[in-house]
Structure 1
Amino acid sequence: MSNEKTIVPMNGYIMLLLFLTAVGFIIYALSSTGNPEYALLFIPVLFLLPGFVLVNPNTSKVLLLFGKYKGTVKKNGLFWVNPFYTKKKISLRASNFDSERLKVNDKLGNPVMISTILVWRVLDTYKAAFEVDNYENFVRVQTDAAVRKLASMYPYDNFADEGLDEDITLRSSVNEVSEALEKELEERLSIAGIEVLESRIGYLAYAQEIANAMLKRQQATAIIAARHKIVEGAVSMVEMALDELSKKEIVELDEERKATMVSNLMVILCSDKDATPVLNTGTLT
């Protein structure tokens, strides 16, 4: 539960005018009367100086009085508060955090290198100041923990030979993975009053020790898929050729010659090299 209390202190320009007036009066009294006792008036006047607070745009000042939270100043400008207040500055600006590349295991146990880019800002100054020790370090640690958990929930890629039917993978499902990461970070960082504006995977790759093997595996999968299409098309073309020869009665082929023709056509159509024609100048027998 948030205990943040936004306050608007006394106008600092009025107190600045009073401070300058008091200093001017003391200087005038010293110069006109020559009485050094007027110099003692500088002590209470100078005591006003620690009470001035300057709040820049998109920043805030958390005020404490002897360890007790008194409120947060979010309004921009020059203000004056109790000189005994302890002031802690907390930025309300959006911040970027690009995590280091972590070596983690995906759902299948494959080591991958992953990093994330996080855009965040402080939403609750009370939680950021008092619920955690250091909210900036808290963001870094929790982001690394969330990335490790996310990587273990999904496989890097979906390989058919492993019998997987995963709709979401780290490599192909960028939007889904980013949404899951953002939700995980919101739950983790809410304790520190941090608002997650955006989170996404910044870097993703297999670890170096298995990168070459996985690349060959991906290439083999692509080759197998291409060969499957080639064979499927070749069977269709052979079937069409036999049907057309039979329909137009160009040549009559017995079962043995059909088998030979099918074999030759499949070799020609499925080969990864150009076929070399051979002219038969004799008979077919």
Structure 2
Amino acid sequence: MGAIRERRAFRLNGFLAVLLVIGLFAWGGLNFYDFIRAALEQRYLWGKLAWAVGSWLLAFLSFSGFFVVQPNESRVLVFLGRYTGTVRFAGFHWANPFASKERLSLRVRNFNSERLKVNDAQGNPIEIAAVVVWRVVDTAKALFDVENYDNFVAIQSETAIRAIASRYPYDAHEGEESLRGDPDGISRALQQELQTRLEVAGVEVLEARLTHLAYAPEIAQAMLRRQQAQAVIAARQKIVEGAVGMVKQALNQLRAEGVVELDEERKAAMVNNLLVALVSESEAQPVLNTGTLY
């Protein structure tokens, strides 16, 4: 048997149905009046009595067919164990009085996951949590294809968060995808992963974003020192690259303008002095050479 898909249920406007029920009561009353009048004349029109009783019974049974649908809400109709359709239109309606009418919300909902402890792609233990924004788009799937769609969304969301966390490293070099370095990309990947898992429940994932991301407490201090060391190394590399560029530019400018001619030995000394002055963390103290005594 294939999956059940949502379809529109047969229903009548509730106010029109009220007029029909009033008409049944009136029809029954007219037939009962004819029966009583004939009985007073010693004539018994049992057919009139049957029409009256049948009309009133049908009118009373019709009362259970009335129901109200609130905005962003639906009613799922099931008759004798068979799904007969869904009413999504807000308002006053009438449908099969013998069908059950399950209320199901179509409003947007949030799911906030607990802080989960998982290993990232590099095997480091991390803590991660996310918020998932979702809504039901297929009422038949939500009610009949899964046991409890609220619980299903919660469990599958945590499973998807674990899967994404184990697929990416917590941190990576510049240009590489990571949980900390590419939040928008991780959100898109998490949303896609969730949509694939929740399709069976008739749920649409509107947004999924990480709300908490940190190393596990047992390695947090060590990883913080590692991040600081990596930041220092990256900064030093930038400083050296800039210093080399400035020295090269200075030598080229001196040669182009003919300010001074340097041999290889003096050029090496100048490069050394400039690099020390540019790369040093402390302020450079210049030494002036005024010549020799002899």
The TM-score normalised by the length of structure 2 is 0.74
What displacement does 1:61 show?
A: 0.7
Q: Which moved more, 1:206-215 or 1:52-61?
A: 206-215
**CA deviation string 1:22-59 (max 9, x = no partner):** 49x99xx9xxx9xxxxxxx9987554432211111221
Q: What CA deviation, in whole Å up to 9, does each residue of 1:132-160 have, x standing for no partner?
A: 11111111111110111011111121148
Q: What is the aligned residue count?
A: 265
Cα pair distance change 1:120/1:284, threshold 3 Å: farther
Question: Residues 60-79 of structure 1 correspond to what in structure 2 (within 5 A)?
Answer: 60-79=74-93
Which residue in the other structure is 1:148 paired with? 162
C-alpha spacing 1:223/1:284, structure 2 compared with 1 (3 Å): farther
Alignment partners' CA distance in 2, 1:155 and 1:66: 53
**CA offsets per residue over residues 214-250 of structure 1, 9 Å max, x none?**
22222222211222232344445556667849x6458
Q: Distance in 2 between matches of 1:188 and 1:130?
A: 16
Q: Does 1:14 align with 2:16?
A: yes
Aligned-partner Cα distance in 2 for 1:119–1:283: 79
- What is residue 36 of structure 1 aligned with on the other side? none
Any idea what SS the aligned residue of 1:5 has?
coil
| Residue of structure 2 equivalent to 1:133 | 147
Number of the residue aligned with 2:202: 193
Contact 2:68–2:92 under 8 Å retained in 1: yes
Deviations 1:69-126 (A, max 9, x none): 2221122221223332211111122222222222221100112222222222111111
Q: Quick one: distance in 1 between partners of 2:293 and 2:10?
A: 104
One-letter amino acid matched to 1:133: E
Which residue pairs with 2:45 in the alignment? none
> In the alignment, is residue 273 of structure 1 matched against residue 282 of structure 2?
yes
Query: In structure 2, do the counterparts of structure 1 residues 199 and 235 end up closer, same or farther at CA, with 3 Å as the change threshold?
Result: closer
The residue correspondences of 1:1-285 to structure 2 (distance < 5 A) are 1-17=3-19, 22=25, 46-159=60-173, 167-237=176-246, 244=254, 248-249=259-260, 255=265, 263-277=272-286, 283=292
In the TM superposition, what is the alpha-carbon distance from 1:192 to its structure 2 partner? 0.7
Contact 2:121-2:169 at 8 Å conserved across structures: yes
Deviates more, 1:78-87 or 1:51-60: 78-87
Distance, in Å, in 2 between the alignment partners of 1:253 and 1:127 is 83
| C-alpha contact 1:8 1:75 (8 A) present in aligned 2 | no
Residues of 1 paired with 2:136 and 2:243: CA distance? 63
| Counterparts in 2 of 1:80 and 1:219: CA distance versus 1, 3 Å | same
The Cα RMSD (Å) is 3.5
Provide, for residues 244-269 of structure 1, a one-character-per-residue CA deviation record: whole Å limited to 9, x for no partner: 49x6458x8894x7776655544333
Alignment CA distance shift 1:45-1:268 (3 Å): same
Amino acid at match of 2:149: Y
Identity %: 50
Structure 1 spans left out of the alignment, 5+ residues? 34-40, 161-165
TM-score in terms of structure 1 length: 0.76
Return the offset for 1:195.
Answer: 1.5
The amino acid across from 1:5 in the alignment is R
Distance 1:265 1:57 in 2: 74
